Structure 1
Amino acid sequence: MNAPLRSHPLPTTWPKHADGEPATLVAALARNAADHSDRVAFRERKYGVWQEQNWREVLEEVAAIAAGFEARGLTPGSALTIIGDNRPRLYYAMLAANMVRAFPSPAYPDIPLDELIAATRHGAPTVAVGEDQEQVDKLLELRAKIGRPTTIVYDDKRGLDSYDDAGIVSFDQIIAEGRERLARDPGLMAELIGKAGPDDVTVLLHSSGTTGLPKGIPLRHKNVTRGVLNAAQSGYFRKNEELFAYLPTAWVGDFVFTLGAGLMMVATINIPERQETVMHDLREVSPTFYLAAPRAWDQMLTRIQVGMKNSTPLKRWLFDLFMPRAVELERKRLAGGTPTLAEAIIDRIGDLMVYAPLRDYLGLTRAERAFTGGEALGEDTFLFFRALGIKLKQFYGQTETCALTAAQSEGHVKLHTVGRPMAGVELKIDDSGEILVRSPSVIDGYFDDPEGSAKAIIDGWLHTGDAGLIDADGDLVVLGRVSEVVRTASGERYIPNFIENRLKFSAYVRNVAVMGAGRDQLTAIVCIDFDAVGHWAEEHRISYTSYADLSQKPEVATLIAGVMVHVNKLQPEGLRIRRFVNLHKDFDADDGEITRTRKLRRNTIETTYAPLISALYSGERETVFDAAITYESGERGIIRRTLTISEVPL
């Protein structure tokens, strides 16, 4: 640990909102260092040991990085590219960029070069941060293609000792250079803390790019700070939270819910050793606030189910005895019912013997607030975790709103809504059924895109592109994308994504694309969940060798047909799926079929699988599909697959 800059008294003034709260993330950092200097700010598990830094130490390191960045040419209004997993110094680099009135622009760690070129076209970043050798190599490739970044800063030095490329420098060196500047200039610390204003960009994120090049989405300090404060006023954040930083740093959920809320709420931000140890480290942290995507909750449920199947007969018997009762009791509560005395006693016994141990096993014993968002979560999964005593809730938002638009609150949880608007958020549905949002957390426009900004934001109202409705209780129901409203040949309107989400409520369906625009019936291409279906196959003594082999088993086709039948019961007669095919692989972001946030690129799927779609509508029982693959060498080839087409029972 570097020696503290004790010769530099901490500033006592910084940009503030009218209510006295910090108006920038840098101001929040300075406030925390001044008022909560010894409180643990960041905790990182490294080599199996949790290492801590308090708020004062973090401020001093961030200021040193900022001074070093500035000396290396990071200028106001420019972007700082950041690629890597969650690491303290990557978060510090984001704040350091803000200190010099620049802004971080994080990218997903697995982003391919062509997408990285698109993601770095905004803000002309000449300085970049790569977590390790893999990311440095990627940034060097980027430089060879477009001539920048000229300076590449790395955190993990393993494998980089022999690199002699110009401009590659370690964080340790940047910090040392920055500390020298701070030591020479006693007023530099206060200057760096006061530079950024509420209207400055605090981070540049990007849209998923489902229909073209990703849009640059600049969140300003006022958007994030006011948005978090409004969410806290509504009860979604509390002071001194224990947060768990494992979400992708390029996702708005990580920047706002981890870094933004961490700073504004004086939280402790816990960082796992690596992605492979997330579940183990989660149990050691036991956060008070936990956010996960629907697929992560599904995987957690599968993990519990597999664990129980492999446990002792007594534990399996207790699980099978209490969990179904707990789920039905939770369903009753959500419907407004009150447990009988007998139900309450059984629930209490179940908590002592089953639910509490499982919460501890997951690391969610202290998770007073647990959320899911981004897409719909399956009803069975949602009910299971609430029955377990984890008060899971839905939230709704976009990157353009700092993901802070609406959320469920305890006592007002429904299975098919996303809750009510947060404090300071106005929400309405226009004549076309589109959801419009106006709030302090809404951006004022896209980066260098006046045309796109004018279309999306009119009179301060963000046109979200989502279709929805507000029910009688004031809860928002999200139906899908307005642009995805299509009609069948008979003229029935539907949103494919709404049906797809219902299908993905099943643990056995990982991805699915529903077709039917201009057709006389609906069909589907299904990507099975390999873990869930594989576990099901093992239970039913069905042998298989690979994803492709498992997907084409007749028993698996029957299993997925059952999912279709269940969803069809919820659909109007003209909008029921009649035929489907289980694909030989999952949709892949590297193949352009889905985005990094797992949203379908429908145009790509319809082009890539055009022969398969034709077979679905031609009445064929099976079809031969030539699948393009890319080998590790970069060479492309073709693998011929015979795929079975199944009918959905009426």
Structure 2
Amino acid sequence: MILPWSRPTSGRLKMQPERQYREDPPEDALHPDWREDDHLIQLLVHNAREHSDEVALRERHRGIWHEYTWQNYLDHVMSLAAGLEARGVRAGDRILVVGDNRPALYFGMLAAVCLKAIPSPAYPDTNPAELQGQMEAEAIRCALVEDQEQVDKLLSVRENGYDRLQLIVFDDERGLKGEEPKGAVSTLDLMAQGQQEREKRPGLDADLQSRVSVHDIAVLLHSSGTTGAPKGVPLKHGHILSGVRSASTAGYFRKGEVHMAYLPMAWVGDFIFTVGAALALRFCVNIPEKQETALHDLREIAPTLYFSSPRAWSNMLTRIQVGINESSPFKRRLYHHFMPFAVELERRRLEGKVPSALERFWRGVGEVLIYGPIKDHLGLSRVERPYTAGEAIGEDVFLFFRALGLNLLQFYGQTENCALCVAQPPDSISLHTAGKPFPGVDLKINKDGEILVRANNIFDGYFNNPDATQETLQDGWMHTGDAGYLEEDGQLVVLGRVSEVVYTEAGDRFIPTYVENRLKFSQYIKDACILGRERAFLAALIVIDMEAVGHWAEEHGVAYTSFSDLSQKAEVYDLINGEVVHVNTVLPEGLQIRRFVNLHKEFDPDDGEVTRTRKLKRKVIDQHYSPIIDALYDGRRAIEYEARISYETGASGMLKRHLTVHDVIPARVAEEA
């Protein structure tokens, strides 16, 4: 394996139209090969016409699955579009979308697209202050939300001085029906109004469908915002369809996939899979009852396509391990016999070795006794195309699911290229590579080691941010901001962010995210922040995984009362020490982790420590944990740390925590002790 340091350096509210988002040069000059009528709405119309009775979307509500055919889908979109227009929504308006995955929110986004308005999703756990920032930046005057919780957030924003919000459309009527705030209307009432408009104007549907262009913005997504305010990323119909068709050509998507929509609607992967690919390839999209029941609903859905983050795959593995430890002795023996066998078999297969006839026989026995039942229990028995993306996945996690018989593949991409850029080819898997470019995607590494890409699915510029656009798009190439290199067979290895390439006091070059990802490969470590820039050695702030470490503590008789208490147990420090030592084995001598602290809490997006996608905000962490960082480097073995905590009411307080500072003990020394 080549390491990074071995490479070179509701009433009718009239909304006055505002200035629409424009681009220079003219749209058709940017993509002369795009066909004007090739867009998401045209695909929806085609599906409703040619496959009207085919199920397009299913939602579990109060334990019952409710189905929407393609014709139902189109009717809902048209009624909502007519209703929104009757309420004053116009071309160029940005429409805030907030909530968990719900059919009405997807219908509403496409309804906005019919009006040439721009849906702008936000994460459902975004707090009012962050929402206000997004609304101010995008001059939001209309919002489409899930329930009373999100309505209350918007009312808070309005009370905080944002008076431009005129229309709030909500889906779940509980707590709101009959007591709607000013300017609020339910999706059902809005659809009823839209249906009346359609009945009064027989040609309205055709008019709405004809307005859309392939050059229109289909969705306004946002960058993670690790180093500042998130940037708006407008993706046009042409970008999305180019990416989806490229992935389909390469065999990563197929027509008629069964897909579960549970990822945040503000994440690019959800829009691409649940809207873009679903419309282009007629997926049957399934929406779980709520996030808490997603894993249970997954078994009933039994998808053929499953896309999840490395963290979710790791959590699924932890769930399996906990379940096995709580099962009968006979089941545990079977598991501990067959799983290591399958993992080793898969490891050797990836090295190009062919299993013997006897090994294939026992692999078949294991499929009946262990692998098949586990996949069925998880709801993955029909998955033919399982994917992971967002960050590096742990080798143990990756091998485990491949050993089960799932052809798990890694994707690499950004919001700016519709998340469809590079993927592992099914017949050439490597544990450390991200794969090869999709058809139609050009990729190269510049002299600074930065990954550059060029393709039709790459965005045309950030929203109202020409400086950032000029920095990212240069000479027809998109600068990803990621460092990497190409293997001899053309596979891409991603090392981390170029901006995060730093040096120790001795001049040793390293990328913190590379080390952090390897720490997070451990089931016991949920998050980590590597320190060491211009320091004498590397140190780490560790966030334990409460579920995995808690189960380990119960198995080993370690009593605890809370996350904070568990994290500071001597036995837990020894456990984490072993994980750090394991990571140190792949690090050069000068870049090994020497000291670490188990934090008393998780990194919290509401505290600004991580983004909504769980990416570290290093400047904030350096500020929040400055006393702890000082203790790591001045030789102290413990620190009394005063931690500021925030309550749901908005109030805050201080708690004093005693934290241990732990020197990393090499494995042989620990054994002798």
* Coarse TM-score class (shorter-chain normalised): over 0.9
Cα distance change on mapping 1:627 and 1:85 into 2, 3 Å? same
Q: Secondary structure at the match of 2:100?
A: coil
The reply to whether residue 109 of structure 1 matches residue 124 of structure 2 is yes
Q: Is the 8 A contact 2:36 2:214 kept in 1?
A: no
Q: Distance in 2 between matches of 1:17 and 1:90?
A: 32
Q: Distance in 2 between matches of 1:164 and 1:529?
A: 41
- Indicate the residue corresponding to 1:254 in structure 2: 270
Q: Distance in 1 between matches of 2:43 and 2:58?
A: 18
Q: Distance in 2 between matches of 1:177 and 1:251?
A: 31
2:298 to 274, 282, 294: 282
- Indicate the residue corresponding to 2:602 in structure 1: 586
- Indicate the residue corresponding to 1:186 in structure 2: 202
Q: Distance in 1 between matches of 2:196 and 2:439?
A: 45
Which consecutive residues of structure 2, in runs of 5 or more, have no partner in the other structure?
1-27, 667-673
2:388 to 353, 372, 378: 372
Cα distance per residue 1:271-311 (max 9 Å; x no partner): 00111110111000011100111111111001111111111
**Aligned partner letter, 1:107:** A
Moved more, 524-533 or 119-128: 119-128
Task: Give runs of aligned pairs for residues 54-65 of structure 1, distance below 5 A.
Answer: 54-65=69-80
Which consecutive residues of structure 1, in runs of 5 or more, have no partner in the other structure?
1-14
- Indicate the residue corresponding to 2:287 in structure 1: 271
**Aligned partner letter, 2:589:** E
**Aligned partner letter, 2:80:** I
- Indicate the residue corresponding to 1:325 in structure 2: 341
Cα distance change on mapping 1:260 and 1:627 into 2, 3 Å? same
RMSD: 1.5
Cα distance change on mapping 1:20 and 1:484 into 2, 3 Å? closer
Cα distance per residue 1:43-95 (max 9 Å; x no partner): 00111111101101110110010010011111111111111100001000010
**Aligned partner letter, 2:473:** I
Q: Is the 8 A contact 1:205 1:250 kept in 2?
A: yes
Cα distance change on mapping 1:98 and 1:164 into 2, 3 Å? closer
Q: Distance in 2 between matches of 1:482 and 1:122?
A: 27
Q: CA shift at 1:124, angstroms?
A: 2.0
Q: Secondary structure at the match of 1:246?
A: coil
- Indicate the residue corresponding to 1:383 in structure 2: 399
The reply to whether residue 349 of structure 1 matches residue 341 of structure 2 is no
Q: Distance in 2 between matches of 1:274 and 1:17?
A: 43
2:257 to 230, 233, 241: 241
The reply to whether residue 27 of structure 1 matches residue 42 of structure 2 is yes
The reply to whether residue 461 of structure 1 matches residue 487 of structure 2 is no
- Indicate the residue corresponding to 1:89 in structure 2: 104
Aligned residues: 636
Q: Distance in 1 between matches of 2:496 and 2:175?
A: 46
Q: CA shift at 1:165, angstroms?
A: 2.3
Q: Distance in 2 between matches of 1:24 and 1:120?
A: 27
Q: CA shift at 1:20, angstroms?
A: 8.2
Q: Distance in 1 between matches of 2:157 and 2:34?
A: 44
Task: Give runs of aligned pairs for residues 346-495 of structure 1, distance below 5 A.
Answer: 346-495=362-511
Q: Is the 8 A contact 1:17 1:23 kept in 2?
A: no
Q: CA shift at 1:164, angstroms?
A: 4.4
Q: Distance in 1 between matches of 2:37 and 2:350?
A: 38
**Aligned partner letter, 2:651:** E
- Indicate the residue corresponding to 1:334 in structure 2: 350
Q: Is the 8 A contact 1:122 1:447 kept in 2?
A: no
Cα distance per residue 1:12-59 (max 9 Å; x no partner): xxx999798972111111111111111101100111111101101110
- Indicate the residue corresponding to 1:520 in structure 2: 536
Q: Distance in 2 between matches of 1:623 and 1:521?
A: 19
- Indicate the residue corresponding to 2:223 in structure 1: 207
Q: CA shift at 1:114, angstroms?
A: 1.3
TM-score (norm 2): 0.93
Cα distance per residue 1:598-626 (max 9 Å; x no partner): 00000000111111111000111111111
TM-score (norm 1): 0.96
Q: Secondary structure at the match of 2:120?
A: strand
Q: Secondary structure at the match of 2:96?
A: strand
1:71 to 76, 86, 90: 86
1:575 to 591, 614, 619: 591
- Indicate the residue corresponding to 1:499 in structure 2: 515
Q: Secondary structure at the match of 1:121?
A: helix
Cα distance per residue 1:239-297 (max 9 Å; x no partner): 00001000000000100111111111111110001111101110000111001111111
The reply to whether residue 618 of structure 1 matches residue 629 of structure 2 is no
Q: Distance in 1 between matches of 2:388 and 2:563?
A: 28
**Aligned partner letter, 1:142:** V
Q: CA shift at 1:509, angstroms?
A: 0.6
**Aligned partner letter, 2:455:** S
Q: CA shift at 1:121, angstroms?
A: 2.9
Q: Is the 8 A contact 2:483 2:497 kept in 1?
A: yes
- Indicate the residue corresponding to 2:186 in structure 1: 170
Task: Give runs of aligned pairs for residues 304-319 of structure 1, distance below 5 A.
Answer: 304-319=320-335
Q: Is the 8 A contact 2:37 2:214 kept in 1?
A: no
Q: Distance in 1 between matches of 2:45 and 2:135?
A: 30
Q: CA shift at 1:459, angstroms?
A: 1.6
1:129 to 144, 150, 160: 144
- Indicate the residue corresponding to 1:142 in structure 2: 157
Q: Is the 8 A contact 1:224 1:260 kept in 2?
A: yes
Percent of aligned positions that are identical = 53
**Aligned partner letter, 2:350:** L
Q: Secondary structure at the match of 2:427?
A: coil
Q: Distance in 2 between matches of 1:174 and 1:125?
A: 19
Q: CA shift at 1:592, angstroms?
A: 0.6
Q: Distance in 2 between matches of 1:519 and 1:147?
A: 49
Cα distance change on mapping 1:436 and 1:19 into 2, 3 Å? closer
Q: Distance in 2 between matches of 1:294 and 1:163?
A: 43
Q: Distance in 2 between matches of 1:82 and 1:623?
A: 44
Q: Is the 8 A contact 1:22 1:31 kept in 2?
A: no
**Aligned partner letter, 1:503:** L
Q: Distance in 2 between matches of 1:330 and 1:34?
A: 46
Q: Distance in 1 between matches of 2:647 and 2:236?
A: 42
Q: Distance in 1 between matches of 2:145 and 2:50?
A: 32
Q: Is the 8 A contact 2:37 2:213 kept in 1?
A: no
- Indicate the residue corresponding to 2:169 in structure 1: 153
Q: Secondary structure at the match of 1:627?
A: strand
Q: Distance in 2 between matches of 1:192 and 1:564?
A: 58
Q: Secondary structure at the match of 2:176?
A: coil
Q: Distance in 2 between matches of 1:534 and 1:22?
A: 55
Q: Distance in 2 between matches of 1:480 and 1:189?
A: 48
